[in-house]
Amino acid sequence: MNIEQQITALRDELRTHNYNYYILDNATISDYEFDMKLKELQELEHKYPEFYDPNSPTLRVGGEVTKNFNTIVHEHRMYSLDNSYSKEDLLDWEKRIKKIVDGQIEFVCELKYDGASISLTYENGTLLRAVTRGDGTQGDEVTANIKTIRSVPLQLKGVYPSRFDIRGEIVLPFDGFNKMNEERVALGEEPYRNPRNTASGSLKLQDSAEVAKRPLECLLYSIKGKDLGFSSQFESLDKAREMGFKVPEAATLAKSIDEVLEFVEYWNIHRHDLPYETDGVVVKVNSLFQQEELGYTSKAPRWAMAYKFKAEQVSTRLNEITYQVGRTGAITPVANLEPVELAGTTVKRASLHNADQIEKLDVRVGDEVFVEKGGEIIPKIIAVDLSKRTTNSQPTKYITHCPECETELIRQEGDAKHYCPNYNGCNPQIIGRIQHYISRKAMDIEGLGGETVALLVNEKLISNYSDLYTLTKEDVLPLERMAEKSAENLINGIEASKQIPFERLLFALGIRYVGETVAKKLAKHYKTIDALSKASFDDLISVDEIGDRIAESVIEFFTSEKNIQIIENLKLQGLQLELSAEKLANQTDKLKGLSIVVSGVFESVSRTELKKLIEDNGGKVSSSISSKTNYLVAGDKMGPSKRTKAEALGVSIISEEDFLILIK
Ligand code: AMP
Ligand code: ZN
């Protein structure tokens, strides 16, 4: 086998495993073996870039960053659906359409997946692009992000139309959603509220590598195009399955509206057993010919109807209101309820959000309250059953002092939440900050977890992250469940973190509003913590993408004596509080202010290296050409449409050699 055949064979094999795992739910290889093969392919692709394939399974891990999403006009408009809420509504709809079409009408019943809609365009069997619904007429192109979703085929199977659009819904199954939230909570971050918003938020993340980490799925339900080779909705779903798409098996052919009602009743109960969220059923006329006869209103097809399930409600007693303190000091009131069954789970707690919410609902301890589970994972209280309120009931007084440290709470104008201002003395804040410091994206300290941090703080062994570096094995051995080996790992992990580069350490410090990207920007601009700590407000906001809010927060952080002292300690311990010499040597401002698009395959560098070179020299990598693009670095096999667009907009097209001269 020559190299090209070897690469092709590996790609095919990985595609098949992917399909078995993500579409058929039937793994045929261990995760480890899969990773090994993927690695092998990555290495080959890196060594032989001439065999680049934009649809290679290696690209599932993402990496492409999109700053501005292109607007794309949908070839076929993405309509919304008319809603119905009762049997009668559905029967009325049947009557209406029977007046328009002749003959027997069959229906397809599908679940209404609750996520973010997406339109995928395939050309000659490969994914050309993915576009969000937007306003239905035009949406945002989010191809780089969608490619990371394993259940979206990059290369179709079997026979397929030469070009078509396929519509579906990007969902975040409960399992994956809960795992993401566990990680967040362990870091002291607010959990995501519901899977739907998290799924739709994911589509617009700029960094596709971030999207790749989220366990999203794509469920398909409709094909649009010419010469598709089927004449009914039900057949089209089968066709989609044959091409390798994930189409839920629940979809059912109903011969009459009675069978439709049976489907609705069945799923009204069994929806709670599904791995992802549904908010109803979509009923569609099966025959495409009849669909055409029925046509569309200005906003929705006449041949389809959504049936919305009712959000489930129960009433129960409110036993107590407790208050939680987050990593940032934000206070969240929680309703503790008499346990009650709701939508398939036992509910004991409900969110009350903030003081305004409590006042608005006038909830009081002892009240009988109505609890609803909508799209949100944590149920909410929607009303009080006033008929059951006792005469001696008292209005709820919101707490004035922190439940953890008794400091008086503050509430800033425009903020819905109260805060505990005791930054250095309030336990949940101290613990949360250290948990953030050690987390995977920050210092990634091996052998140290969130619970151990809480133990260390509660045992008064540490009170801020710089104290970690003074811990000894003897200090931690007496802790609960701490064995010799784990104590050693912990100390080694802490020691190893001294090598973590400056930009990650800056993120780890937990300065409010300084996330990963901002930390990188600041590190690159100021190069040392000393320079950053002395920066004025005006200086800070002159840095690209640093706004008022971030600038104020940075200044506030460095005004604190305590923070300065902690940073001095980190310095003494040998942490990286400036960019490494190597990084500095490779960094210039030669491309400052320039926006550059990279396309095709290159001889002397990989695309990733090329992009890094652009960033290291102060330029911006952009994924699509616009009038703001300064250069298009063109490699081999660059798509002709990119060239045409660049020429039309007058963007300079340069070669790899030209580029290397630019940064010499
Ligand atoms: P609405 O946003 O309430 O107007 O409902 C229309 C949306 O429902 C579509 O844009 C789809 O994203 C979504 N949807 C979910 N499941 C289905 C399905 N099985 N068939 C059609 N649309 C669906
Ligand atoms: Zn406090």
Check whether 375 has a pLDDT greater than 70.
no
What is the band of 627 on the pLDDT scale with cuts at 50, 70, 90?
confident
Which region among 183-192, 278-287, 409-418, 564-573 has the lowest average model confidence (pLDDT)?
A: 183-192
For the purposes of burial, counting CB atoms within 10 Å of the CB of 191, is it exposed (0-12), middle (13-18) or buried (19 or more)?
Answer: middle
Alpha helices in 448-546 (DSSP H): 450-458, 473-476, 484-496, 502-508, 516-526, 529-534, 537-541
How many residues are there in the chain? Answer: 664
Residue 376 confidence (pLDDT) above 70: no
- Give pLDDT, residue 35: 86
80-126 confidence digits (pLDDT tens): 999 998 999 999 999 999 999 988 999 999 999 999 999 999 999 99
Would the CB of 169 count as within 6 Å of ligand 1?
A: yes
166 contacts 239 by C-beta, under 8 angstroms = no
Ligand index nearest the alpha carbon of residue 83: 1
Answer whether 81 contacts ligand 1 (Cβ < 6 A).
yes
The predicted structure's pLDDT at residue 245? 97
Write down all domains in the chain, each with its CATH number in brackets: 3-61 (1.10.287.610), 73-306 (3.30.470.30), 313-388 (2.40.50.140), 427-499 (1.10.150.20), 502-585 (1.10.150.20), 595-662 (3.40.50.10190)
**How far is the C-alpha of 377 from the C-alpha of 495, rounded, in Å?**
39
- What average pLDDT is seen over the chain? 91
Per-residue pLDDT, 4: 93
How much is the average pLDDT of 291-299?
A: 92
Among 209, 215, 204, 206, which residue's Cα sits nearest to residue 180?
A: 215
Q: Are 284 and 108 a contacting pair, CB within 8 Å?
A: yes
Say whether pLDDT at 574 is over 80: yes
Who wins on pLDDT, 119 or 483?
119
pLDDT score of 188? 63
pLDDT tens by residue, 486-540:
999 999 999 999 999 999 999 999 998 898 888 988 998 999 999 999 999 999 9
Helices and strands (DSSP H and E) totals, the chain: 25, 20
Give me the mean pLDDT over the 411-431 stretch. 90
pLDDT at 162 over 80: yes
Q: What's residue 312's pLDDT?
A: 79
Roughly what angle, to the nearest 10 degrees, separates helices 257-270 and 87-100?
A: 150
For a pocket test of ligand 1, which of 85, 111, 131, 282 has the largest count of ligand atoms closer than 8 A to its C-beta? 282
* C-alpha 654 – ligand 1 centre gap (Å): 44
In this prediction, residues 379-392 reach a mean pLDDT of 89
- pLDDT value at residue 187: 66
Nearest ligand 1 atom, CA 110: 19
Q: What is the pLDDT of residues 214-231, one digit of tens each?
A: 999 999 999 999 989 999
Q: What is the CA radius of gyration of the chain?
A: 28
| Residue of 85, 118, 165, 221 to test ligand 1 pocket, by largest number of atoms within 8 Å of CB | 221
Specify burial of residue 440 (Cβ count, 10 A radius: 0-12, 13-18, 19+). exposed
- What is the reported pTM? 0.64
% of the chain surpassing 70 pLDDT? 99
* Local structure of 431: helix, strand or coil: helix
Say how many Å lie between the first and final Cα of the chain, rounded: 40
Q: How confident is the model at residue 476 (pLDDT cuts 50, 70, 90)?
A: very high
